[in-house]
Structures are given as structure tokens and as C-alpha cells.
Amino acid sequence: MSLFSTTYDVIVIGGGHAGSEAAAASANMGAHTLLITMNLQNIAQMSCNPAMGGIAKGQIVREIDALGGYSGIVTDKTAIQFKMLNKSKGPAMWSPRAQSDRMMFAECWRTMLEQTENLDFYQDSVNGLLFDGDKIIGVKTALGLEIKSKTVIITAGTFLNGLIHIGDKTFGGGRAGESASTGITEDLVLKGFEAGRMKTGTPPRVDGRSLDYSKMLEQPGDEIPEKFSYLPTTRPLVKQRSCYLTYTNPKVHELLREGFDRSPMFNGRIKSTGPRYCPSVEDKVDRFATKDRHQIFVEPEGWTTVEMYVNGFSTSLPEDIQDKAIRAIEGFENVKFFRYGYAIEYDFFQPTQLKHSLETKLIENLFFAGQINGTTGYEEAASQGLMAGVNAALKTQGKAPFVLKRNEAYIGVLIDDLITKGTDEPYRMFTSRAEYRTLLRQDNADLRLTPLGFELGLASKERMDRVLEKQRKTDLLIKFLEETSVTEAEINPILEAKNLDLINQSLKLFKVAARPQLDFKDFKDLEKLKVFIAENDIDWEVVEQAEIHLKYSGYIEKEKNNADKLNRLENVTIPANFNYQKLQSISFEAREKLTKIQPTSISQASRISGVSPSDISVLLVYMGR
């Protein structure tokens, strides 16, 4: 089939994290998909640090995996270190993070995509969009091809009119060594879209052989590493590579300050907003002037490479300043640079211009996902890509959009935040953004989402069967704990070992096991539990679910009830293009915001900043409630 004569179901522009998940999702749902990207060698390239997951982001990767996306599998297959962050806190905060081998990561993604049916590839740069009135019908490329498609997903990342800054040098580029993308923003603005600028930055990469690790603190991975994917096709790591921790110091700060007058951040050449939570080192020195040191994590870029990523030293200061300042860090005295740090400015589109499906409000069949929507981070991008891929495929099949609610997934929170509130700075996920975080845990993403992914035709039958089995065994174990009594003789040695008050009568096992001071592993020698676990072939994942149920079911039920109450408001829909101007009894600000965002439900309206509870009461009356 020729590119000239085919009309695709879905064209995905850009093979980054969003584009790769989008292409996989739509193709796996049966849509004939074309992935057009500037360089097929750089599929799912990690532009910044070679790590997936982390706080709240790890939960997102688990959700992508549970739905049938690829990011979790690729991360497991290419991981060099795994850590479960926040393990000392409650399970809602546990966040998996893995360092990956950067080169293997891109290669593994490409292999997985090449093995995906219904997916074609083409290397070129899209420099224009084809419209028929207010519908998109295809794309134009730099080589002059016009390729037709029923739907188009734009996932151009940091490439749209990208501008790279290092000290006083500025040049066009989408990432170091890669060209910027022009034409798309311009076509969209002509159609009435509002475009903005954002910026992000990256630290230097250095030669690991030139560092003195004896002056740094070793940061090994977890002793018993876990993994991201719920599928058994990936295995936890047996061998891991360590990272190293060192610090900046007043001398480093002084040397950095010498370059401030040539810094594009401070001399006004960079005008756009960067990620507040991921500041450059010059920003940290400037903003936190009283702090005399900042953490620097030295992270390997892969299994065999000597290249190291200097996490915490993101900078766009001139090369000579980067070079001088970094040498004043303990362990970096004789450092050799592989690449200097840089900052990049790029176009993004206010995500309030999107529907929950990630389809644009202005142009039918056109979807946006990833950094183009004002987010930052691989996980945020990948999850939007998956959702856009699913929804583009559903659109071609004439089916209703797939939308995740805020109480169903971090992905639901992310998209709802973006399209309801918009963003003035690169948006990244945090656990604090999720009001139902006790429900949205990394351990239960499969129970929450695999049934939905299976129904869509995205998650495999194998995934679904595993979820059913996990649920069945969890219920079985909970029932056993609730029905089984233990005697003083069985339990008191366990309590004694933990310096806890002893019991003087037999008790149901769940009552003892629910005590916050005790872990399930404290019961490992309890004979009747041991026998039950062995007889029913119960694994640690099931034990973990049962333990979380015992200890947190009160909180979980409370959150479920709150979510149910709010979801009732979700069901009070507002008609499309509702005329808020006629509602004179709501505030001027609320009228303006509601008109701009056009919420689809009362619940969404209540989350728009500037819309007060009294405005909502008026709306409710108007909607007949």
C-alpha cells in the first residue's frame, strides 16, 4: 500500500513517549495507523534523565501497563536499577522508579512497535496540516508528501519552533542535535488556536571514568527490586547499577554566579516559564541563596556505557562556566564532559482547547498529546499518548470516547486538570494533585484499569485473567483472615518480639494483623497461615492486597463514598455550547471561564478556578436540580 493512495485511520506525528504509546494503542485497537517521525532511530528517546517513574509518575506507568500500554514493559526490560520510593509511608505514596539503559530503551520501544500489527512507519517531518473546513484530513511533510487520514494525533514534544540556549548562544532545534519542527504551530494558529511558549532544561553528561566515586555516597537499588509490568513476561532485576550522591558547595555557587550575566535565564533572552519543581542549578542558587549546598545524583546512562547523567545540575549557563563550576563539586575535580547542559524553549497549546478525549474543540478528529499540552515528563506524555491513541481509534469506529474519572486513575486527574484548569508552567504530576490517592495506588492499577483496557480491546485476555485470579485469591485470603482464630500461644511470641502488649484470649487473625505496628511478614512462621498460603498458591501481590485491605479499608471506603457523591454531579451534564452569558446571577469571572472551557458536567464546572459554590448552585437550578 502506497503512502500516496492510503487513507489511514490514525496518523501519529512524532515518535516520542506520547507518540509511541498513541501509535501502539490505536494499532492494537485495530486502527490502521501511521507513525511519522523525524528520525526512526530516536523512537521514545529519553531527552532528559534516563529514568521512568518516581513519585506519582510511577503510579502513571503502572496505569499505562494495566491498560495494555508498553511503557512499563519497556522500562522493565531495560532497567538498570529499581527503587520503590516512599516505602516508609502509607501505600498511597509508594512510587516505583527505575533507571533505564537509555539506548536499550529506545531500541526496545522500536522493536515492540515493529511487532505491532496495523502499524506503519515513515521517517519525515510534518510541516503542515490538511483541513476540510473544521475537520482534519491529513498531513503535509517536508518532502512534499500529502498523506490522508481520518484522524491525526500531534505529539511533537519540545520540537515546535524549538530554540536551544547555552549561555549567549541560541540556535533552532527540537533537542540537542535534532532540528526544530516548523509549520504545524502556524497552521493551527491560522485555525484559531492559542499557542504559548514554555521552557525546560537538561544537565551535562560526563565521562564516568573521570569521576572519583570514593568522594560520593553510593546509592544502590532496592535489595528486593520489584518491577512495573503486571505481566510475567518481564522479571525483576537480579543485578543492578548504583547511582552516587554528592553535593554542590559555596565555591560551586560562586563560580556559577560569575556566569549569571551571560545566562539566557537572567538576561531576559529566555522569556518563557520553566518547570518550577525542576529548577536549573542557577535558579536554585539564585532563589535559595541561603542554602549552601544542593544534592547532585550521578546516574549511569546504561549497563555498559561510561556516560553519566548529572541529575540536579540542569543548566543553560555558558560552557566555560559549566566546566569551571562542576569541577568544584566533590568527585568532579577531573571531570571530562560528553555534552553540556542546555535549555530549550518550545511552543505549546493551552490544553483548555481540548475535550476530555484529547480531541481539540476547534478541529474535529485532531488530537494533541504530550508536551504539546504543556506537560513535562515521559510518564505524563506517555499516558496522554495512550488515551489519545485509544480515542482516535474509537472515533474512527464511531464509538463514544474513553474518559477516565479522577477517582479511577492518575491519568484521569492529569487530563481533567489540564483541560479544566489549563497550565501556565510545565505541568507534572504529584500525589497531592489526586484527591482520591488512597484509591489510586500503584499496587492496584491492574484491578482498577485492566477490566477497562480489556473491554476496549487493548489489554490482553492474559492480563484480564491474571486480574480475575488476583482478585479471587485476595478475597479468599481476606475471608480466611476474618474467619480464622488464633490462640495466645500462637500470637504472643510474635507480639513479644515486637514489644507489644500480649493477648489473653484467642482472637480472629484479621484483628491482630490489622495492627499498624505489625507487618504481614511478622506472621511468616504462623503455621495455619503458612499452610493456607501454600495450599492456595498465594503470592506476595495477593498478600499485599489483603494487608492493605486490613489496614486501610476504613480510609478506602471513605474515599469511595466521597467519590460516589461527586460522581453524581458528574452525571449532571451541561449541554454543548451552553450560553453562560444569559446567567446574570453568576459572577462575571465564572461566566467568562465557563464560556471559555465549556465544561461537560457540573462536577467539571466546580473544578474551574474562579467558579464558586454559589455559581454552582445557580447552575444546578438551571439544569433542573
Residue numbering of the annotated binding site for NAD(+):
274-288
Nearest to 353, CA basis, from 558, 58, 598: 598
Among 16, 91, 264, 274, binds ligand FAD (CB under 6 A): 16
Instruction: Quote the least distance from Cβ 283 to ligand FAD, whole Å.
Output: 12
CA–CA separation, 59 vs 562, rounded Å?
21
386: contact with ligand FAD by CB under 6 A: no
Cell of 295: 544534592
Per-residue contact flags (x/-) with ligand FAD for residues 256 to 295, judged by CB under 6 A: ----------------------x-----------------
In this structure, is the dihedral angle defined by the CA atoms of residues 426, 429, 431 and 436, taken in order, positive or negative? positive
Cell of 82: 529499581
Q: Which residues pair with 97 in a beta bridge?
A: 53, 83
Nearest to 228, CA basis, from 82, 72, 57, 449: 72
- Applying CB under 6 A, the span of 69-77, 221-229, 348-356, 372-380 interacting with ligand FAD comes to 372-380
Instruction: Quote the least distance from Cβ 97 to ligand FAD, whole Å.
Output: 12
Q: Which residues pair with 366 in a beta bridge?
A: 152
CA dihedral 302, 308, 314, 315 (to 10 degrees): -130
Instruction: Quote the least distance from Cβ 383 to ligand FAD, whole Å.
Output: 11
Summarize the annotated binding site as residue ranges: 14-19, 126, 181, 274-288, 371
Q: Around Cβ 514, how many Cβ atoms within 10 Å?
A: 17
Q: Around Cβ 222, how many Cβ atoms within 10 Å?
A: 17
Phi, psi of 256 (to 5 degrees): -65, -40
- Applying CB under 6 A, the span of 31-39, 113-121, 354-362, 496-504 interacting with ligand FAD comes to 31-39
377: contact with ligand FAD by CB under 6 A: yes
Nearest to 364, CA basis, from 385, 399, 392: 392
Instruction: Quote the least distance from Cβ 342 to ligand FAD, whole Å.
Output: 6
36: contact with ligand FAD by CB under 6 A: yes
556: contact with ligand FAD by CB under 6 A: no
Residue among 206 and 574 whose Cβ is closer to ligand FAD = 206
Instruction: Quote the least distance from Cβ 363 to ligand FAD, whole Å.
Output: 17
Among 12, 129, 381, 518, binds ligand FAD (CB under 6 A): 381
Residue 557 CB contacts under 8 Å (≥ 6 apart), including other chains: none
39: contact with ligand FAD by CB under 6 A: yes
CA–CA separation, 4 vs 7, rounded Å?
9
Summarize the annotated binding site for FAD as residue ranges: 14-19, 126, 181, 371
Residues 173-202 that bind ligand FAD (CB under 6 A): 174-175, 181, 184, 200-202
415: contact with ligand FAD by CB under 6 A: no
Residue among 40 and 500 whose Cβ is closer to ligand FAD = 40
50: contact with ligand FAD by CB under 6 A: no
Do 426 and 381 meet the contact criterion of CB atoms below 8 Å apart?
A: no
At 317, is the secondary structure helix, strand, or coil?
A: coil
100: contact with ligand FAD by CB under 6 A: no
CA–CA separation, 586 vs 580, rounded Å?
9
312: contact with ligand FAD by CB under 6 A: no
Do 353 and 597 meet the contact criterion of CB atoms below 8 Å apart?
A: no
Instruction: Quote the least distance from Cβ 155 to ligand FAD, whole Å.
Output: 5
Per-residue contact flags (x/-) with ligand FAD for residues 332 to 351, judged by CB under 6 A: ------------x-------
**Measured in Å, how far apart are the chain's first and last C-alpha atoms?**
55
204: contact with ligand FAD by CB under 6 A: no
Task: Please state the separation of Cα 195 from the chain's center in Å.
Answer: 23
Instruction: Quote the least distance from Cβ 609 to ligand FAD, whole Å.
Output: 24
CA–CA separation, 188 vs 339, rounded Å?
34
370: contact with ligand FAD by CB under 6 A: yes
Residue among 138 and 157 whose Cβ is closer to ligand FAD = 157
- Applying CB under 6 A, the span of 30-38, 217-225, 289-297, 576-584 interacting with ligand FAD comes to 30-38
48: contact with ligand FAD by CB under 6 A: yes
Among 82, 159, 193, 454, binds ligand FAD (CB under 6 A): 159
Cell of 330: 566533590
- Applying CB under 6 A, the span of 68-76, 329-337, 373-381, 539-547 interacting with ligand FAD comes to 373-381
Instruction: Quote the least distance from Cβ 276 to ligand FAD, whole Å.
Output: 12
Phi, psi of 81 (to 5 degrees): -155, 145
Residue among 181 and 423 whose Cβ is closer to ligand FAD = 181
Instruction: Quote the least distance from Cβ 572 to ligand FAD, whole Å.
Output: 34
∠ CA 295-442-607 to the nearest 5 degrees? 90
C-alpha R_g of the chain: 26
Nearest to 183, CA basis, from 265, 174, 273, 74: 174
Instruction: Quote the least distance from Cβ 154 to ligand FAD, whole Å.
Output: 8
- Applying CB under 6 A, the span of 37-45, 468-476, 490-498, 583-591 interacting with ligand FAD comes to 37-45
Strand segments, DSSP code E, in 27-134 are 33-37, 51-53, 79-85, 95-100, 119-123, 126-132
CA–CA separation, 204 vs 439, rounded Å?
39
Among 371, 450, 598, 604, binds ligand FAD (CB under 6 A): 371
Q: Which long-range contacts (CB under 8 A, 24 or more apart) does 478-483 make?
A: 478/510, 478/546, 478/549, 478/550, 480/509, 480/532, 481/508, 481/509, 481/510, 481/513, 481/546, 481/550, 482/508, 482/509, 482/510, 483/508
Residues at the contact surface with ligand FAD, assessed by CB under 6 A: 13-19, 36-39, 42, 47-48, 125-126, 155-159, 174-175, 181, 184, 200-202, 278, 344, 370-371, 376-378, 381
